[in-house]
Structure 1
Amino acid sequence: MHVEIHGQPADEAPTLVLSSGLGGVTGFWQPQLATLCERYCVVLYDQRGTGRSADTLPEGYSMKMMAAELAEALTLHGITKFGIVGHALGGLIGLQLALDYPTRVERVAVINGWLTLNAHTQRCFHVRQDLLLNVGIDAFVRAQPLFLYPSEWMAQHQARLEQEDAHHVAHFQGTENLLRRLNALMTADFSIRAASITSPVLVICSQDDLLVPWSCSVQLAAALPDSQLVEMPWGGHAMSVTDPEPFNALLMQWLNDTDTVLKTAHVAG
Protein backbone atom coordinates (compact mmCIF):
# COMPACT_ATOMS: atom_id res chain seq x y z
CA MET A 1 0.00 0.00 0.00
CA HIS A 2 1.35 3.41 -0.95
CA VAL A 3 1.89 5.43 2.25
CA GLU A 4 3.31 8.93 2.66
CA ILE A 5 4.36 10.53 5.96
CA HIS A 6 4.53 14.32 6.20
CA GLY A 7 4.83 17.02 8.82
CA GLN A 8 6.23 16.56 12.30
CA PRO A 9 8.18 13.50 13.53
CA ALA A 10 5.87 10.81 14.90
CA ASP A 11 7.75 10.68 18.20
CA GLU A 12 7.26 14.42 18.75
CA ALA A 13 3.67 15.03 17.62
CA PRO A 14 0.32 13.23 17.44
CA THR A 15 -0.25 11.21 14.28
CA LEU A 16 -3.21 11.86 11.98
CA VAL A 17 -4.14 9.49 9.15
CA LEU A 18 -6.12 11.05 6.29
CA SER A 19 -8.44 8.64 4.50
CA SER A 20 -10.15 9.62 1.24
CA GLY A 21 -13.58 8.70 -0.07
CA LEU A 22 -14.47 6.51 -3.04
CA GLY A 23 -11.64 7.98 -5.12
CA GLY A 24 -9.25 6.55 -2.55
CA VAL A 25 -6.12 8.61 -3.28
CA THR A 26 -3.93 11.07 -1.39
CA GLY A 27 -4.53 14.10 -3.63
CA PHE A 28 -7.94 14.78 -2.09
CA TRP A 29 -6.25 16.20 1.02
CA GLN A 30 -4.06 18.87 -0.55
CA PRO A 31 -6.21 21.74 0.87
CA GLN A 32 -5.57 20.43 4.42
CA LEU A 33 -2.01 19.16 4.22
CA ALA A 34 -0.01 22.32 4.95
CA THR A 35 -2.23 23.33 7.87
CA LEU A 36 -2.12 19.91 9.52
CA CYS A 37 1.60 19.41 8.95
CA GLU A 38 2.41 22.43 11.13
CA ARG A 39 1.35 20.49 14.26
CA TYR A 40 0.97 16.82 13.40
CA CYS A 41 2.62 13.83 11.84
CA VAL A 42 0.32 13.39 8.84
CA VAL A 43 -0.09 10.05 7.06
CA LEU A 44 -1.59 9.86 3.57
CA TYR A 45 -2.26 6.66 1.68
CA ASP A 46 -3.78 5.36 -1.54
CA GLN A 47 -6.41 2.80 -0.63
CA ARG A 48 -5.96 -0.73 -1.94
CA GLY A 49 -6.92 -0.98 -5.59
CA THR A 50 -6.56 2.77 -6.21
CA GLY A 51 -3.79 5.11 -7.34
CA ARG A 52 -0.34 3.79 -6.49
CA SER A 53 -1.77 0.88 -4.47
CA ALA A 54 -2.71 -1.07 -7.58
CA ASP A 55 -4.30 -4.45 -6.86
CA THR A 56 -7.26 -6.60 -7.82
CA LEU A 57 -9.79 -6.59 -5.01
CA PRO A 58 -11.41 -9.88 -3.96
CA GLU A 59 -15.09 -10.71 -4.07
CA GLY A 60 -16.77 -9.93 -0.79
CA TYR A 61 -14.48 -6.97 -0.18
CA SER A 62 -15.65 -5.21 2.98
CA MET A 63 -15.20 -2.23 5.26
CA LYS A 64 -13.60 -4.54 7.81
CA MET A 65 -10.99 -5.55 5.23
CA MET A 66 -10.31 -1.88 4.39
CA ALA A 67 -9.70 -1.15 8.07
CA ALA A 68 -7.43 -4.18 8.52
CA GLU A 69 -5.35 -3.25 5.46
CA LEU A 70 -4.77 0.24 6.80
CA ALA A 71 -3.97 -1.01 10.30
CA GLU A 72 -1.39 -3.41 8.87
CA ALA A 73 0.17 -0.73 6.66
CA LEU A 74 0.49 1.63 9.63
CA THR A 75 2.09 -1.09 11.73
CA LEU A 76 4.67 -1.66 9.00
CA HIS A 77 5.57 2.03 9.28
CA GLY A 78 5.85 1.86 13.08
CA ILE A 79 2.61 3.72 13.74
CA THR A 80 0.74 2.13 16.63
CA LYS A 81 -1.51 4.99 17.81
CA PHE A 82 -3.22 7.53 15.59
CA GLY A 83 -6.23 9.67 14.91
CA ILE A 84 -8.02 9.36 11.59
CA VAL A 85 -9.75 12.02 9.50
CA GLY A 86 -11.91 10.44 6.82
CA HIS A 87 -14.15 11.71 4.07
CA ALA A 88 -17.33 9.62 3.49
CA LEU A 89 -15.90 6.14 2.80
CA GLY A 90 -12.72 7.18 4.60
CA GLY A 91 -14.75 8.24 7.63
CA LEU A 92 -16.47 4.85 7.74
CA ILE A 93 -13.05 3.20 7.61
CA GLY A 94 -12.20 5.32 10.66
CA LEU A 95 -15.29 4.09 12.52
CA GLN A 96 -14.44 0.49 11.62
CA LEU A 97 -10.90 0.97 12.89
CA ALA A 98 -12.26 2.41 16.15
CA LEU A 99 -14.35 -0.75 16.58
CA ASP A 100 -11.70 -3.28 15.59
CA TYR A 101 -8.58 -1.56 17.02
CA PRO A 102 -9.87 0.54 19.94
CA THR A 103 -6.50 0.72 21.71
CA ARG A 104 -4.85 2.19 18.61
CA VAL A 105 -7.43 4.75 17.46
CA GLU A 106 -7.28 7.92 19.54
CA ARG A 107 -9.97 9.94 17.69
CA VAL A 108 -11.95 9.97 14.47
CA ALA A 109 -13.30 12.78 12.28
CA VAL A 110 -16.06 11.70 9.89
CA ILE A 111 -16.82 14.09 7.02
CA ASN A 112 -20.24 13.69 5.39
CA GLY A 113 -20.58 10.11 6.59
CA TRP A 114 -23.46 8.06 7.92
CA LEU A 115 -24.61 5.44 10.39
CA THR A 116 -26.36 3.32 7.77
CA LEU A 117 -26.99 3.99 4.08
CA ASN A 118 -29.75 6.50 3.39
CA ALA A 119 -32.24 5.74 0.57
CA HIS A 120 -31.32 8.99 -1.19
CA THR A 121 -27.59 8.19 -1.12
CA GLN A 122 -28.36 4.71 -2.36
CA ARG A 123 -30.25 6.21 -5.32
CA CYS A 124 -27.24 8.40 -6.14
CA PHE A 125 -24.89 5.43 -6.00
CA HIS A 126 -27.18 3.39 -8.25
CA VAL A 127 -27.21 6.22 -10.80
CA ARG A 128 -23.42 6.36 -10.78
CA GLN A 129 -23.19 2.58 -11.05
CA ASP A 130 -25.62 2.53 -13.98
CA LEU A 131 -23.57 5.19 -15.77
CA LEU A 132 -20.42 3.14 -15.34
CA LEU A 133 -21.94 -0.14 -16.50
CA ASN A 134 -24.27 1.08 -19.24
CA VAL A 135 -22.58 4.21 -20.61
CA GLY A 136 -18.92 3.96 -19.70
CA ILE A 137 -16.02 5.33 -17.71
CA ASP A 138 -16.05 8.77 -19.36
CA ALA A 139 -19.71 9.33 -18.42
CA PHE A 140 -19.12 8.09 -14.88
CA VAL A 141 -16.21 10.48 -14.43
CA ARG A 142 -18.03 13.47 -15.96
CA ALA A 143 -20.99 12.94 -13.62
CA GLN A 144 -18.86 12.59 -10.50
CA PRO A 145 -18.45 16.35 -9.79
CA LEU A 146 -22.24 16.78 -9.76
CA PHE A 147 -22.36 14.73 -6.56
CA LEU A 148 -19.31 16.38 -5.00
CA TYR A 149 -19.47 20.13 -5.59
CA PRO A 150 -22.01 22.99 -5.48
CA SER A 151 -23.14 24.18 -8.91
CA GLU A 152 -21.79 27.73 -8.50
CA TRP A 153 -18.36 26.40 -7.52
CA MET A 154 -18.38 24.11 -10.55
CA ALA A 155 -19.37 26.99 -12.84
CA GLN A 156 -16.34 28.96 -11.65
CA HIS A 157 -13.88 26.05 -11.94
CA GLN A 158 -14.62 24.50 -15.33
CA ALA A 159 -10.98 24.39 -16.45
CA ARG A 160 -9.99 22.62 -13.25
CA LEU A 161 -12.84 20.12 -13.60
CA GLU A 162 -11.84 19.30 -17.17
CA GLN A 163 -8.27 18.63 -16.03
CA GLU A 164 -9.53 16.45 -13.18
CA ASP A 165 -11.82 14.54 -15.56
CA ALA A 166 -8.91 13.73 -17.85
CA HIS A 167 -6.77 12.64 -14.90
CA HIS A 168 -9.49 10.42 -13.42
CA VAL A 169 -10.14 8.71 -16.75
CA ALA A 170 -6.43 8.11 -17.30
CA HIS A 171 -5.96 6.73 -13.78
CA PHE A 172 -9.31 4.99 -13.34
CA GLN A 173 -9.16 2.33 -10.62
CA GLY A 174 -10.97 -0.27 -12.76
CA THR A 175 -14.64 -1.19 -12.99
CA GLU A 176 -14.46 -4.33 -10.84
CA ASN A 177 -12.42 -2.61 -8.13
CA LEU A 178 -14.78 0.35 -8.04
CA LEU A 179 -17.89 -1.83 -7.88
CA ARG A 180 -16.45 -3.93 -5.06
CA ARG A 181 -15.42 -0.86 -3.09
CA LEU A 182 -18.82 0.71 -3.73
CA ASN A 183 -20.59 -2.43 -2.53
CA ALA A 184 -18.50 -2.43 0.65
CA LEU A 185 -19.47 1.19 1.20
CA MET A 186 -23.17 0.64 0.56
CA THR A 187 -23.43 -2.40 2.82
CA ALA A 188 -21.55 -0.91 5.77
CA ASP A 189 -23.88 -0.53 8.76
CA PHE A 190 -22.81 0.87 12.14
CA SER A 191 -26.29 1.12 13.64
CA ILE A 192 -25.81 -1.89 15.94
CA ARG A 193 -22.23 -1.27 17.14
CA ALA A 194 -21.93 2.53 17.14
CA ALA A 195 -22.46 2.67 20.91
CA SER A 196 -19.27 0.61 21.32
CA ILE A 197 -17.08 3.31 19.75
CA THR A 198 -15.45 5.03 22.70
CA SER A 199 -13.02 7.28 20.80
CA PRO A 200 -13.93 10.97 20.48
CA VAL A 201 -15.60 11.50 17.10
CA LEU A 202 -16.07 14.73 15.17
CA VAL A 203 -19.06 14.44 12.83
CA ILE A 204 -18.91 17.26 10.31
CA CYS A 205 -21.29 17.77 7.40
CA SER A 206 -22.39 20.26 4.78
CA GLN A 207 -26.03 21.28 4.68
CA ASP A 208 -26.04 21.47 0.86
CA ASP A 209 -24.50 18.02 0.28
CA LEU A 210 -26.29 16.50 -2.73
CA LEU A 211 -25.01 12.97 -2.12
CA VAL A 212 -25.47 12.55 1.65
CA PRO A 213 -28.28 14.40 3.45
CA TRP A 214 -26.99 16.38 6.44
CA SER A 215 -29.50 14.55 8.63
CA CYS A 216 -27.34 11.43 8.24
CA SER A 217 -24.61 13.16 10.26
CA VAL A 218 -27.13 14.16 12.92
CA GLN A 219 -28.19 10.53 13.19
CA LEU A 220 -24.59 9.32 13.34
CA ALA A 221 -23.58 11.79 16.04
CA ALA A 222 -26.60 10.85 18.17
CA ALA A 223 -25.60 7.18 18.09
CA LEU A 224 -22.00 7.74 19.26
CA PRO A 225 -21.10 7.98 22.97
CA ASP A 226 -18.51 10.76 22.55
CA SER A 227 -19.28 12.91 19.52
CA GLN A 228 -19.37 16.52 18.42
CA LEU A 229 -21.56 17.55 15.49
CA VAL A 230 -20.53 20.51 13.32
CA GLU A 231 -22.55 21.68 10.30
CA MET A 232 -21.22 23.87 7.50
CA PRO A 233 -23.88 25.79 5.53
CA TRP A 234 -22.18 25.45 2.13
CA GLY A 235 -19.60 23.47 0.22
CA GLY A 236 -21.29 20.32 -1.04
CA HIS A 237 -20.15 16.78 -0.40
CA ALA A 238 -16.48 17.77 -0.79
CA MET A 239 -16.61 20.98 1.26
CA SER A 240 -13.05 20.37 2.45
CA VAL A 241 -12.08 21.10 -1.18
CA THR A 242 -14.58 23.82 -2.11
CA ASP A 243 -14.46 25.79 1.18
CA PRO A 244 -11.21 24.74 2.84
CA GLU A 245 -10.51 27.72 5.10
CA PRO A 246 -13.60 27.42 7.34
CA PHE A 247 -13.39 23.64 7.14
CA ASN A 248 -9.75 23.65 8.26
CA ALA A 249 -10.57 26.06 11.09
CA LEU A 250 -13.36 23.82 12.39
CA LEU A 251 -11.19 20.72 12.14
CA MET A 252 -8.23 22.38 13.87
CA GLN A 253 -10.45 23.60 16.70
CA TRP A 254 -11.67 20.07 17.37
CA LEU A 255 -8.15 18.68 17.10
CA ASN A 256 -6.92 21.30 19.56
CA ASP A 257 -9.70 20.44 22.01
CA THR A 258 -9.05 16.71 21.77
CA ASP A 259 -5.27 17.24 21.95
CA THR A 260 -5.86 18.55 25.46
CA VAL A 261 -8.03 15.57 26.38
CA LEU A 262 -5.50 13.08 24.98
CA LYS A 263 -2.60 14.72 26.81
CA THR A 264 -4.55 14.55 30.07
CA ALA A 265 -5.35 10.89 29.46
CA HIS A 266 -1.71 10.08 28.69
CA VAL A 267 -0.55 11.79 31.90
CA ALA A 268 -3.17 9.95 33.92
CA GLY A 269 -2.17 6.65 32.28
Structure 2
Amino acid sequence: MQIELTQAPFPKAPTLLLIAGLGGMGSYWLPQRAALAEHYQLVVYDQRGTGVNKQPLPNDYCLPDMAQEIHTAMLQQGITHYSVLGHALGGLVAMQLALDYPAAIDKLAIINGWLQLNAHTRRCFAVRETLLQDSGPAAYLQAQPLFLYPADWMAANQPRLEAEEAMHNAHFQGQENLTRRLNALKAADFHATAARIQQQVLVICSRDDLLVPWIFSEELHNALPNSLLEIMPWGGHACNVTAASDCNQRLLSFLVTEPTYLKEII
Protein backbone atom coordinates (compact mmCIF):
# COMPACT_ATOMS: atom_id res chain seq x y z
CA MET A 1 0.00 0.00 0.00
CA GLN A 2 1.30 3.45 -0.93
CA ILE A 3 1.23 6.03 1.86
CA GLU A 4 2.50 9.60 2.03
CA LEU A 5 4.65 10.85 4.90
CA THR A 6 5.15 14.55 5.39
CA GLN A 7 8.45 15.92 6.64
CA ALA A 8 8.66 15.91 10.43
CA PRO A 9 8.31 19.50 11.74
CA PHE A 10 11.02 18.92 14.36
CA PRO A 11 13.26 16.05 15.51
CA LYS A 12 11.34 13.15 17.04
CA ALA A 13 8.00 14.75 16.19
CA PRO A 14 5.03 12.45 16.89
CA THR A 15 3.17 10.83 14.01
CA LEU A 16 -0.50 11.34 13.15
CA LEU A 17 -2.34 9.03 10.75
CA LEU A 18 -5.26 10.59 8.85
CA ILE A 19 -8.03 8.24 7.66
CA ALA A 20 -10.79 9.53 5.39
CA GLY A 21 -14.35 8.24 5.23
CA LEU A 22 -16.17 6.22 2.58
CA GLY A 23 -14.61 8.19 -0.27
CA GLY A 24 -11.28 6.86 0.92
CA MET A 25 -9.03 9.53 -0.60
CA GLY A 26 -6.26 11.12 1.43
CA SER A 27 -6.92 14.44 -0.32
CA TYR A 28 -10.00 14.80 1.91
CA TRP A 29 -7.71 16.14 4.66
CA LEU A 30 -6.37 19.14 2.74
CA PRO A 31 -8.15 21.63 5.10
CA GLN A 32 -6.28 20.11 8.08
CA ARG A 33 -2.82 19.46 6.71
CA ALA A 34 -1.16 22.84 7.18
CA ALA A 35 -2.36 23.23 10.78
CA LEU A 36 -1.52 19.68 11.85
CA ALA A 37 1.81 19.51 10.02
CA GLU A 38 3.25 22.13 12.39
CA HIS A 39 3.01 19.63 15.24
CA TYR A 40 3.06 16.15 13.66
CA GLN A 41 4.61 14.11 10.96
CA LEU A 42 1.47 13.29 8.99
CA VAL A 43 0.65 10.03 7.27
CA VAL A 44 -1.99 10.38 4.55
CA TYR A 45 -3.14 7.62 2.22
CA ASP A 46 -5.74 6.49 -0.27
CA GLN A 47 -7.49 3.52 1.23
CA ARG A 48 -7.23 0.14 -0.44
CA GLY A 49 -9.58 0.07 -3.40
CA THR A 50 -9.34 3.85 -3.99
CA GLY A 51 -7.00 6.37 -5.59
CA VAL A 52 -3.39 5.22 -6.04
CA ASN A 53 -4.21 2.04 -4.12
CA LYS A 54 -7.10 1.12 -6.38
CA GLN A 55 -7.38 -2.66 -6.71
CA PRO A 56 -10.26 -5.16 -6.53
CA LEU A 57 -11.41 -5.85 -2.99
CA PRO A 58 -12.48 -9.30 -1.76
CA ASN A 59 -16.14 -10.06 -1.14
CA ASP A 60 -15.54 -10.53 2.59
CA TYR A 61 -13.60 -7.28 3.03
CA CYS A 62 -14.07 -6.03 6.59
CA LEU A 63 -12.99 -3.40 9.10
CA PRO A 64 -10.17 -5.51 10.62
CA ASP A 65 -8.75 -5.80 7.08
CA MET A 66 -8.73 -2.00 6.79
CA ALA A 67 -6.92 -1.68 10.11
CA GLN A 68 -4.42 -4.44 9.39
CA GLU A 69 -3.35 -3.15 5.99
CA ILE A 70 -2.63 0.41 7.16
CA HIS A 71 -0.91 -0.77 10.35
CA THR A 72 1.32 -3.03 8.25
CA ALA A 73 2.12 -0.11 5.95
CA MET A 74 3.06 2.00 8.98
CA LEU A 75 5.39 -0.71 10.29
CA GLN A 76 7.03 -0.97 6.87
CA GLN A 77 7.92 2.72 7.25
CA GLY A 78 9.38 2.09 10.70
CA ILE A 79 6.45 3.76 12.48
CA THR A 80 5.52 1.80 15.58
CA HIS A 81 3.61 4.43 17.60
CA TYR A 82 1.12 6.99 16.33
CA SER A 83 -2.13 8.86 16.91
CA VAL A 84 -5.10 8.59 14.55
CA LEU A 85 -7.59 11.09 13.15
CA GLY A 86 -10.54 9.53 11.35
CA HIS A 87 -13.70 10.81 9.71
CA ALA A 88 -16.84 8.61 9.76
CA LEU A 89 -15.64 5.26 8.35
CA GLY A 90 -12.12 6.46 9.14
CA GLY A 91 -13.15 6.85 12.76
CA LEU A 92 -14.31 3.24 12.80
CA VAL A 93 -10.94 2.14 11.42
CA ALA A 94 -9.27 4.24 14.13
CA MET A 95 -11.17 2.37 16.83
CA GLN A 96 -10.36 -0.97 15.20
CA LEU A 97 -6.67 -0.03 15.26
CA ALA A 98 -6.93 0.79 18.97
CA LEU A 99 -8.52 -2.60 19.62
CA ASP A 100 -6.20 -4.68 17.45
CA TYR A 101 -2.92 -2.84 18.05
CA PRO A 102 -3.35 -1.02 21.38
CA ALA A 103 0.38 -0.64 22.09
CA ALA A 104 0.84 1.25 18.82
CA ILE A 105 -1.92 3.83 19.27
CA ASP A 106 -1.61 7.01 21.33
CA LYS A 107 -4.67 9.27 20.93
CA LEU A 108 -7.75 9.00 18.71
CA ALA A 109 -9.79 11.83 17.22
CA ILE A 110 -13.06 10.79 15.58
CA ILE A 111 -15.19 13.16 13.51
CA ASN A 112 -18.87 12.23 13.08
CA GLY A 113 -18.46 8.60 14.10
CA TRP A 114 -20.76 6.02 15.69
CA LEU A 115 -20.88 2.70 17.54
CA GLN A 116 -23.07 0.91 14.99
CA LEU A 117 -24.87 2.16 11.93
CA ASN A 118 -28.22 3.58 13.03
CA ALA A 119 -31.54 3.32 11.19
CA HIS A 120 -31.42 6.90 9.89
CA THR A 121 -27.91 6.65 8.46
CA ARG A 122 -28.70 3.21 7.04
CA ARG A 123 -31.66 4.77 5.19
CA CYS A 124 -29.38 7.49 3.78
CA PHE A 125 -26.92 4.90 2.53
CA ALA A 126 -29.75 2.83 1.04
CA VAL A 127 -30.85 5.84 -1.00
CA ARG A 128 -27.28 6.38 -2.21
CA GLU A 129 -26.87 2.69 -3.07
CA THR A 130 -30.09 2.75 -5.09
CA LEU A 131 -28.79 5.73 -7.04
CA LEU A 132 -25.53 3.94 -7.68
CA GLN A 133 -27.15 0.71 -8.82
CA ASP A 134 -30.04 2.16 -10.83
CA SER A 135 -28.56 5.38 -12.20
CA GLY A 136 -24.80 4.85 -12.08
CA PRO A 137 -21.76 6.56 -10.52
CA ALA A 138 -22.47 10.01 -11.99
CA ALA A 139 -25.86 10.23 -10.26
CA TYR A 140 -24.39 8.86 -7.04
CA LEU A 141 -21.65 11.52 -7.03
CA GLN A 142 -24.07 14.29 -7.99
CA ALA A 143 -26.16 13.52 -4.92
CA GLN A 144 -23.22 13.00 -2.56
CA PRO A 145 -22.83 16.67 -1.43
CA LEU A 146 -26.42 16.66 -0.14
CA PHE A 147 -25.33 14.24 2.58
CA LEU A 148 -22.02 15.95 3.35
CA TYR A 149 -22.54 19.70 3.43
CA PRO A 150 -25.02 22.26 4.87
CA ALA A 151 -27.41 23.74 2.30
CA ASP A 152 -26.19 27.31 2.78
CA TRP A 153 -22.57 26.24 2.26
CA MET A 154 -23.49 24.38 -0.93
CA ALA A 155 -25.41 27.38 -2.26
CA ALA A 156 -22.32 29.57 -1.78
CA ASN A 157 -19.84 27.04 -3.21
CA GLN A 158 -21.35 25.75 -6.45
CA PRO A 159 -18.16 26.13 -8.57
CA ARG A 160 -16.21 24.16 -5.96
CA LEU A 161 -18.86 21.44 -5.86
CA GLU A 162 -18.80 21.13 -9.64
CA ALA A 163 -15.00 20.81 -9.61
CA GLU A 164 -15.13 18.18 -6.85
CA GLU A 165 -17.78 16.23 -8.73
CA ALA A 166 -15.65 16.16 -11.86
CA MET A 167 -12.62 15.01 -9.86
CA HIS A 168 -14.58 12.26 -8.10
CA ASN A 169 -15.99 11.05 -11.41
CA ALA A 170 -12.48 10.88 -12.87
CA HIS A 171 -11.16 8.90 -9.88
CA PHE A 172 -14.24 6.87 -8.94
CA GLN A 173 -13.28 3.76 -6.97
CA GLY A 174 -15.70 1.53 -8.87
CA GLN A 175 -19.12 0.22 -7.96
CA GLU A 176 -17.90 -3.14 -6.64
CA ASN A 177 -15.19 -1.66 -4.43
CA LEU A 178 -17.52 1.01 -3.07
CA THR A 179 -20.19 -1.59 -2.30
CA ARG A 180 -17.71 -3.84 -0.49
CA ARG A 181 -16.33 -0.96 1.55
CA LEU A 182 -19.86 0.14 2.40
CA ASN A 183 -20.75 -3.40 3.46
CA ALA A 184 -17.74 -3.39 5.81
CA LEU A 185 -18.96 -0.11 7.28
CA LYS A 186 -22.50 -1.42 7.76
CA ALA A 187 -21.28 -4.58 9.49
CA ALA A 188 -19.15 -2.74 12.07
CA ASP A 189 -20.46 -2.83 15.66
CA PHE A 190 -18.49 -1.50 18.64
CA HIS A 191 -21.17 -1.87 21.30
CA ALA A 192 -19.38 -4.80 22.92
CA THR A 193 -15.83 -3.56 22.43
CA ALA A 194 -15.76 0.23 22.86
CA ALA A 195 -15.13 -0.08 26.62
CA ARG A 196 -11.84 -1.82 25.83
CA ILE A 197 -10.46 1.29 24.12
CA GLN A 198 -8.35 2.91 26.81
CA GLN A 199 -6.75 5.68 24.74
CA GLN A 200 -7.85 9.28 25.11
CA VAL A 201 -10.45 9.92 22.41
CA LEU A 202 -11.83 13.19 21.08
CA VAL A 203 -15.28 12.75 19.55
CA ILE A 204 -16.27 15.69 17.34
CA CYS A 205 -19.68 16.03 15.72
CA SER A 206 -21.80 18.66 14.04
CA ARG A 207 -25.28 19.45 15.27
CA ASP A 208 -26.60 19.80 11.69
CA ASP A 209 -25.10 16.58 10.29
CA LEU A 210 -27.77 15.09 8.00
CA LEU A 211 -26.03 11.75 7.43
CA VAL A 212 -24.97 10.90 11.00
CA PRO A 213 -27.04 12.83 13.58
CA TRP A 214 -24.97 14.19 16.46
CA ILE A 215 -26.76 12.01 19.02
CA PHE A 216 -24.84 9.00 17.73
CA SER A 217 -21.53 10.69 18.46
CA GLU A 218 -22.90 11.30 21.95
CA GLU A 219 -23.71 7.60 22.21
CA LEU A 220 -20.16 6.77 21.11
CA HIS A 221 -18.73 9.18 23.67
CA ASN A 222 -20.78 7.58 26.45
CA ALA A 223 -19.46 4.13 25.50
CA LEU A 224 -15.78 5.12 25.48
CA PRO A 225 -14.13 5.15 28.93
CA ASN A 226 -11.73 8.04 28.29
CA SER A 227 -13.35 10.44 25.84
CA LEU A 228 -14.25 14.06 25.31
CA LEU A 229 -17.23 15.14 23.18
CA GLU A 230 -17.22 18.42 21.29
CA ILE A 231 -20.37 19.43 19.41
CA MET A 232 -19.87 21.95 16.64
CA PRO A 233 -22.91 24.16 16.01
CA TRP A 234 -22.66 24.02 12.20
CA GLY A 235 -20.78 22.27 9.45
CA GLY A 236 -22.68 19.19 8.30
CA HIS A 237 -21.16 15.75 7.96
CA ALA A 238 -17.96 17.15 6.46
CA CYS A 239 -17.60 19.80 9.16
CA ASN A 240 -13.79 19.60 9.00
CA VAL A 241 -14.13 20.96 5.44
CA THR A 242 -16.94 23.50 5.81
CA ALA A 243 -15.85 24.82 9.24
CA ALA A 244 -12.17 23.94 9.00
CA SER A 245 -10.85 26.69 11.28
CA ASP A 246 -13.20 25.75 14.12
CA CYS A 247 -12.54 22.04 13.68
CA ASN A 248 -8.76 22.49 13.47
CA GLN A 249 -8.70 24.50 16.67
CA ARG A 250 -10.57 21.74 18.50
CA LEU A 251 -8.30 19.06 17.07
CA LEU A 252 -5.11 20.88 18.03
CA SER A 253 -6.37 21.64 21.52
CA PHE A 254 -6.83 17.92 22.08
CA LEU A 255 -3.94 16.46 20.13
CA VAL A 256 -1.18 18.89 21.07
CA THR A 257 -2.07 19.57 24.70
CA GLU A 258 -2.88 17.15 27.47
CA PRO A 259 -6.61 17.33 28.30
CA THR A 260 -7.29 18.16 31.95
CA TYR A 261 -10.76 16.68 31.85
CA LEU A 262 -12.55 13.94 30.01
CA LYS A 263 -16.10 12.62 29.85
CA GLU A 264 -17.42 16.12 29.36
CA ILE A 265 -19.33 17.83 26.60
CA ILE A 266 -18.21 21.16 25.13
TM-based fold match above 0.5: yes
CA contact (8 A) 1:15 1:42 kept: yes
Matched letter for residue 42 of structure 2: V
- 1:60-79 matches, within 5 Å, as 60-79=60-79
- 1:1-269 matches, within 5 Å, as 1-8=1-8, 12-258=12-258
User: Which digits, 9 at most, give the CA deviation of each residue in 1:187-213, with x for residues without a partner?
Assistant: 100000110011111110000000001
CA contact (8 A) 2:26 2:46 kept: yes
Q: Distance in 1 between matches of 2:223 and 2:103?
A: 20
CA contact (8 A) 1:20 1:87 kept: yes
Q: Distance in 2 between matches of 1:101 and 1:16?
A: 15
Matched letter for residue 158 of structure 2: Q
CA contact (8 A) 2:9 2:38 kept: no
Instruction: From the superposition, tell whether residues 82 and 177 of structure 1 become closer, same or farther in structure 2 (CA, over 3 Å).
Output: same
User: Which digits, 9 at most, give the CA deviation of each residue in 1:22-46, with x for residues without a partner?
Assistant: 0101111011001111111111011
Residue 107 of structure 1 deviates from its aligned partner by 1.1
Aligned residues with identical type, % of pairs: 54
CA contact (8 A) 2:9 2:37 kept: no
1:267 aligns with none
Count of residues in correspondence between the two structures:
261
User: Which digits, 9 at most, give the CA deviation of each residue in 1:77-114, with x for residues without a partner?
Assistant: 11100000000000100000000000001111110000
CA contact (8 A) 2:57 2:177 kept: yes
Instruction: From the superposition, tell whether residues 193 and 10 of structure 1 become closer, same or farther in structure 2 (CA, over 3 Å).
Output: farther
Instruction: From the superposition, tell whether residues 11 and 70 of structure 1 become closer, same or farther in structure 2 (CA, over 3 Å).
Output: farther
TM-score normalised by L of structure 1: 0.95
Matched letter for residue 114 of structure 1: W
Residue 54 of structure 1 deviates from its aligned partner by 1.3
Matched letter for residue 206 of structure 2: S
Matched letter for residue 217 of structure 2: S
Instruction: Flag as ranges the 4+ runs of structure 1 deviating above 6 A.
Output: none
CA contact (8 A) 1:13 1:40 kept: yes
Matched letter for residue 17 of structure 2: V
Structure 2 unaligned runs (5+)?
Answer: 262-266
CA contact (8 A) 1:206 1:214 kept: yes
Residue 258 of structure 1 deviates from its aligned partner by 3.4
User: Which digits, 9 at most, give the CA deviation of each residue in 1:133-189, with x for residues without a partner?
Assistant: 011111000000000000010001101111111111111000000000000001100
Matched letter for residue 150 of structure 2: P
User: Which digits, 9 at most, give the CA deviation of each residue in 1:226-254, with x for residues without a partner?
Assistant: 00000000000000000100100011001
Q: Secondary structure at the match of 2:106?
A: strand
Instruction: From the superposition, tell whether residues 11 and 184 of structure 1 become closer, same or farther in structure 2 (CA, over 3 Å).
Output: farther
Instruction: From the superposition, tell whether residues 10 and 190 of structure 1 become closer, same or farther in structure 2 (CA, over 3 Å).
Output: farther
Matched letter for residue 245 of structure 2: E
Instruction: From the superposition, tell whether residues 62 and 9 of structure 1 become closer, same or farther in structure 2 (CA, over 3 Å).
Output: same
Q: Distance in 2 between matches of 1:61 and 1:127?
A: 22
Q: Secondary structure at the match of 1:73?
A: helix
